[in-house]
Structure 1
Amino acid sequence: MKGRHRPAGSSGGALKLGAAAVAVLVVLAGSWYAFNKYSKPACGNAAKLSIGASADISPALKLQAAEWAEQAKDNGNCVDIEVFDEDPADVAAALAGKADKSLTGVGQANGKTRIPDVWVADSSLWLQRIRAVNPDSVKAGAHSVALSPVVLAMPEPAATKFGWPQKNITYADLIASLAANQGTKIGITEPSRDATGLAGLLTLASVAKQAGGGNATQATQVATTALRALAAGRSSVRSDLIQKFPRGSDQQAISTSLTVAPLSEQAIIQYNGQQPPVRIAAIYAEPAAPPLDYPYVVLSADKASMADELLKSLQTQDFRDKLGAIGLRGADGAPGKGFQTPANAPGALAAAAPQLPDAGTVETLLQQWQAITLPARMLAVLDVSGSMLEPVPTAGNATRMQVTLEAARKGMALFDDSWSLGVWTFSTLLDGQKDYKQLVPIGPLVSQRAQLVQALGGITPKKNGDTGLYDTILAAYKAVQSGYESGRINSIIVMTDGENDDPAGGLKLEELIAQLKAVADPAKPIQIILIGIGDKVGEAAMRQITDAVGGGTFVAQDPSKIGDIFLQAISLRGQIAQKK
């Protein structure tokens, strides 16, 4: 059978033609790739957006922001998003500072703190605290972008003694263990600067107050015991607290290490992910503490449109999966891909907004905390002039002296044994020619608490006594100065219901200030805290004194509120600026 004749070389020509066509296609494809790549916006003038975020969530935010920016670029929009870690306490301090205010226990912002266009703090508690002092700084309606419940963290051997995992452990169980002195070592991160610590403190304090079974005195004692236990085990930052958990599995290591601390679920997931010798159990105790809910807050109005568009991408499954990889849940409480659910944890949490206590409750508790935790050496000086016998209608007609002494007793009950405290009284001619009298010298509470309680119980006003205020202040200042202790806040707290009134003469205001300045030693600062009781105090003169030498003036127009004012004054000792 004969085949068709094929011209010599025709096969080679076809191959050459095919190769040329492929080359053309490659060139064209390369040209299209180059065109597509370089025809995108050059982004020389990209719109910029800065996001300051809690370090807990910033890794997920950085990944999502980078992807969103790239998608925007593909759509012809140039955006430049910077996500940086910023301590929520520092941002909160900076926002409060814009209104010349400060948050209890936080003080001034770090000098390097930036106020971003968008702020993602770890908890809405920060927003609540800021609005209480600067209502216009943070708008309402912030959206949560993640969730991590605040749980009780326990080494698993310790948790089993409480009945875990079969028993549902409660905060009441923990309170009972502390009250019974069963060797439970509780820790907490500084609640004035850490939202996890604050959430745990709020819950523990609330449960402790209910533990008295209707007996107010017993409830106060239980709450005080709990607060003191927390204060003894506090850490400045979360990483230090976590290091207090057992580093070995032997009984000695477990018995001498931290037993329990409120921590975020994320912190426990990440800790156990490091394969420690003793794993930490996450106890989802009742009542549930306010969770970390990571509110997304737009602080720059001119960036609101771009910020809102980015927010939409933070509500996707893709972002939930990024959160899951770092131990956080989605904003609705459901976990994403890669989330390592702790034993006995709910698969999903309620999506309802966290129920936060009102700002007043938070502030009062933090003031109590500050009163307990700041190391102190203090001289309390109480007015016993005749006007302190006046009844207080808003306090059931108890006298001014009675409400003042009750405030002093309650305050002293909060102070732990590391405090040093002394008590004077003053009026006119109380001790010979002196207008003041020492009842108990300044000394450690560990050895003279009972003596101080007894002294307070025996104080009665001098019926016809006047108010030798200025001579008393100078003498008290010198007394505190003579025994000055470094490493403590050395202070005088004077509680009075009247202006300086000394028929025998004594110092004038200008003379007092001049003498205080003359004896003051900048290396040994002493705070003078003056508390006015009622509406007849010489507030202007009192402020001149404290402004001149360092301290603060507080006035309870309604004497029945003296307890709150006393607590506020004590709690602010560490924040009152020292004047040179």
Structure 2
Amino acid sequence: MSRHRTLRAKVRRGIAKWPVLIVVFVVLIGLGWLILSWTGGVLDKRSQALAQNCSEGDAVLRLAATPSIAGAVADVARAYSATRPVVYDHCIAIEVTSLDSSAVLDGLTTAWDEQKLGKRPHAWLPDSTLWANRLTALNAKLVGSAPKSVGTSPVLLAAPEAAAPVLKEFRWSDMPEVTDWSKFGQSWGRFSVAMPDPATNTASALAIQSALAGGAGPVTAESLGSDAAKAKLTKLAAAVPPEVPATTREALRRLGDSATVNAAGFSVTPVSEVDLFKHNTGKEAPSKPLVGVLPAGPAPVADFPYVALGGTEVGEAEVRAAQAFREFMTEPAQQAILARGGLRVESTQDRPSPSPGVSWSAVTENLVPADATTTQQISSAWASADRGGQVVTVLADVSTSMKPRLDKVKSALRGQIDRSVSGSFGLWAFARDLDGSKPYRQLVATGPVTEKRDALRRSVDGLKTSDGSQLYSALAACYEAAHDGFVAGRVNRVVVITDGASDGGIDLAALKSRLHGTDLAVSFIAIGGEVDKGALTDIAQTTGGSVSVVESVDGLEAALGQVLSTNA
């Protein structure tokens, strides 16, 4: 028995090792694959998160908006920020600032004052393409892309409540002719339209354009130079009330504070619909809202263009962000926000409510606007008519470098002379040794343009080039003559057209010592890239003038119109 037990003890059965090893190996492979997959997913997610979390940091897109719609634009900006926009690996934030368009234009084309205006914007939303045209005329490089409208607002007549019902048949073309309320069967005396300076007030500029068009438009350079257009401008200027408020906002305030018709010193004033809506519903709303009257016939319309700005201060990220935000603003949801703010947009007919004084009347026909150059010429023609016109002395560069440009300089000057309604005009030329050893010649002494128009035309036609470009010596002599002929109570200015730097005669310091202050402004139109812009800017700032930079002579007419359009 013991033998049998011994045999059983020696026989043992076990599990084979190779299947276990195979199972372990397969499990390890599976775990490895899972780990690799998980690690790869984490890395992918981290990579995506890095892009979405702005590997290049934050960037701020600064947008200057006209006050009437700045609040609505800020609402759109908040909606855009909620989408967590990323441009070129930058997280984009939109900063909207409410600024008058005249302040933006001045800042962009002179020296931006951060203490007064905040940081320089990357984009601009004024109330009209008129402002984009002016910026282009002063320095085309500052316009980064073609303006795009985000909404519209027709121009109305703001009137006291009692006066509005009797103006239902009024047309913009009536403005030069209607001077008394008796035309409407009323005994309120003189009928006058207060038009704050059209160079800085869009509604005034568009109202004047409508009056000149006499219909659907557009006003052209040819029609503007006609006797009929000059007669209309003369009548309009004669009908201007003795004291015109500087801004549309101030005109509305004075009308709103008046208890009776004409108590403000004028009867009505042009205003965009959205500006009137804001005036009647804002913090300083009048106790009795002003009433907006939509004149019969084609309506002038403010088009609220979004302008992406250019220049060295705008980086690539801001350029792309400006374009992206512009497209966002034109989407239906954002258009609805702008509509609630008082603009008219195509995607909805909704209007703000309540809206005292604003009936949102249907516009059946829009005025066809003048082109960019004619727009500037309309403003300068008005400046030549308003309050006796300006006193302008032009100093034209006739150095050899101007030879390929001279024909267009002549055309621009002839056009300005022909379109001037009143005021005074004079013409000088400069190069070197034009009059004996003098680098300048007075061609026509500054005097009433109506008396000297023929002499001015002949002198312009006779311009020819010569060697040299002694700008500073010529300007000193021209400035002294203009200063001696200064006409009190009028805008006096010297306008210099040049394409190069001064190459002889007195230096800049000597010239500046002969300038007398800011009553007589010196403004430059600089053609091409050979000018000493720093020196010209120094002279302009010393006298309260301006510098317009045009890349080619093709921009001269618009620039000349812009320079001569302001009554300040």
Bin the TM-score by the shorter chain.
0.5 to 0.7
The letter for the 2-side match of 1:365 is I
**Which residue matches 2:207?**
200
Shift of the alpha carbon at 1:263?
A: 0.6
**Which residue matches 1:259?**
267
Task: Please state whether the residue corresponding to 1:149 is helix, strand or coil.
Answer: strand
**Which residue matches 1:239?**
249
CA distance in 2, matches of 1:369, 1:179: 22
Shift of the alpha carbon at 1:177?
A: 1.8
The answer to whether structure 1 residue 122 and structure 2 residue 127 are counterparts is yes
Contact 2:342 2:352 in 1 (8 A): no
The answer to whether structure 1 residue 334 and structure 2 residue 349 are counterparts is yes
CA distance in 1, matches of 2:224, 2:382: 22
Shift of the alpha carbon at 1:306?
A: 7.5
Query: Equivalent residues in 2 for 1:67-466 (5 A)?
Result: 82-87=94-99, 89=101, 93=105, 102=109, 109-111=112-114, 112-114=117-119, 120-127=125-132, 133-134=140-141, 137-139=144-146, 144=150, 146-160=151-165, 163-165=166-168, 167=169, 169-177=170-178, 183-207=190-214, 217-225=226-234, 228=237, 235-245=245-255, 247-250=257-260, 253-254=262-263, 257-273=265-281, 274-277=285-288, 279-293=290-304, 295=306, 300-302=319-321, 312=331, 314-315=333-334, 319=337, 323-324=339-340, 326-332=341-347, 334-336=349-351, 338-340=353-355, 342=357, 345-346=360-361, 356-369=369-382, 376-378=390-392, 409-410=417-418, 413-416=420-423
CA distance in 1, matches of 2:73, 2:244: 30
Does the C-alpha gap of structure 1 residues 461 and 258 become closer, same or farther in structure 2, counting only changes over 3 Å?
Answer: closer
Does the C-alpha gap of structure 1 residues 158 and 210 become closer, same or farther in structure 2, counting only changes over 3 Å?
Answer: farther
Does the C-alpha gap of structure 1 residues 509 and 72 become closer, same or farther in structure 2, counting only changes over 3 Å?
Answer: closer
Shift of the alpha carbon at 1:542?
A: 13
The letter for the 2-side match of 1:279 is L
Q: Deviations over 1:330-353 (max 9, x none)?
A: 45462335242756642x557x99
The letter for the 1-side match of 2:273 is E
CA distance in 2, matches of 1:415, 1:237: 24
Shift of the alpha carbon at 1:265?
A: 1.4
Match of 2:67 among 55, 58, 61: 55
Contact 1:205 1:227 in 2 (8 A): no
Task: Please state whether the residue corresponding to 1:245 is helix, strand or coil.
Answer: helix
CA distance in 2, matches of 1:455, 1:62: 55
CA distance in 1, matches of 2:280, 2:534: 56
The aligned length equals 467
CA distance in 1, matches of 2:78, 2:265: 42
Does the C-alpha gap of structure 1 residues 227 and 341 become closer, same or farther in structure 2, counting only changes over 3 Å?
Answer: same
Shift of the alpha carbon at 1:71?
A: 8.8
Task: Please state whether the residue corresponding to 1:244 is helix, strand or coil.
Answer: helix
**Which residue matches 1:504?**
none
Shift of the alpha carbon at 1:123?
A: 3.7
CA distance in 1, matches of 2:299, 2:96: 31
Contact 1:195 1:292 in 2 (8 A): no
Q: Deviations over 1:24-75 (max 9, x none)?
A: xxxxxxxxxxxxxxxxxxx9989776563332223334456557767989xx
The letter for the 1-side match of 2:481 is A
The letter for the 2-side match of 1:122 is D
Task: Please state whether the residue corresponding to 2:167 is helix, strand or coil.
Answer: coil
Q: Deviations over 1:508-550 (max 9, x none)?
A: 9734669963861454786678999xxxxxx999999989966
The letter for the 2-side match of 1:202 is Q
CA distance in 1, matches of 2:177, 2:561: 29
Task: Please state whether the residue corresponding to 2:175 is helix, strand or coil.
Answer: helix
CA distance in 2, matches of 1:353, 1:299: 34
The letter for the 2-side match of 1:479 is A
Contact 1:379 1:480 in 2 (8 A): yes
* Higher relative contact order, chain-length normalized (CA < 8 Å, sep 6+): 2
CA distance in 1, matches of 2:125, 2:459: 53
Does the C-alpha gap of structure 1 residues 483 and 158 become closer, same or farther in structure 2, counting only changes over 3 Å?
Answer: same
CA distance in 1, matches of 2:121, 2:74: 15
Query: Equivalent residues in 2 for 1:478-489 (5 A)?
Result: 478-482=480-484
CA distance in 2, matches of 1:354, 1:47: 44
Task: Please state whether the residue corresponding to 2:214 is helix, strand or coil.
Answer: helix
Does the C-alpha gap of structure 1 residues 188 and 83 become closer, same or farther in structure 2, counting only changes over 3 Å?
Answer: farther
**Which residue matches 1:520?**
514
Does the C-alpha gap of structure 1 residues 526 and 198 become closer, same or farther in structure 2, counting only changes over 3 Å?
Answer: closer
The letter for the 1-side match of 2:101 is A
Shift of the alpha carbon at 1:288?
A: 0.9
Contact 1:149 1:291 in 2 (8 A): yes
The letter for the 1-side match of 2:250 is D
CA distance in 2, matches of 1:449, 1:275: 44
Q: What's the TM-score, normalizing by structure 2? A: 0.56
Shift of the alpha carbon at 1:358?
A: 2.7
Task: Please state whether the residue corresponding to 1:243 is helix, strand or coil.
Answer: helix
Shift of the alpha carbon at 1:247?
A: 3.0
What is the percent sequence identity of the aligned residues?
A: 14
Runs of 5+ in structure 1 lacking a partner? 1-42, 74-78, 384-393, 497-507, 533-538, 576-580
Q: What's the TM-score, normalizing by structure 1? A: 0.55
CA distance in 2, matches of 1:373, 1:337: 37
Shift of the alpha carbon at 1:293?
A: 4.2
Q: Deviations over 1:64-115 (max 9, x none)?
A: 6557767989xxxxx8855533326379649x95xxxx4xxxx554433545
The letter for the 2-side match of 1:360 is T
CA distance in 2, matches of 1:272, 1:543: 45
Task: Please state whether the residue corresponding to 2:177 is helix, strand or coil.
Answer: helix
Does the C-alpha gap of structure 1 residues 487 and 512 become closer, same or farther in structure 2, counting only changes over 3 Å?
Answer: farther
Does the C-alpha gap of structure 1 residues 546 and 372 become closer, same or farther in structure 2, counting only changes over 3 Å?
Answer: farther
Does the C-alpha gap of structure 1 residues 65 and 353 become closer, same or farther in structure 2, counting only changes over 3 Å?
Answer: farther
Does the C-alpha gap of structure 1 residues 202 and 179 become closer, same or farther in structure 2, counting only changes over 3 Å?
Answer: farther
CA distance in 1, matches of 2:206, 2:549: 29
Contact 2:385 2:422 in 1 (8 A): yes
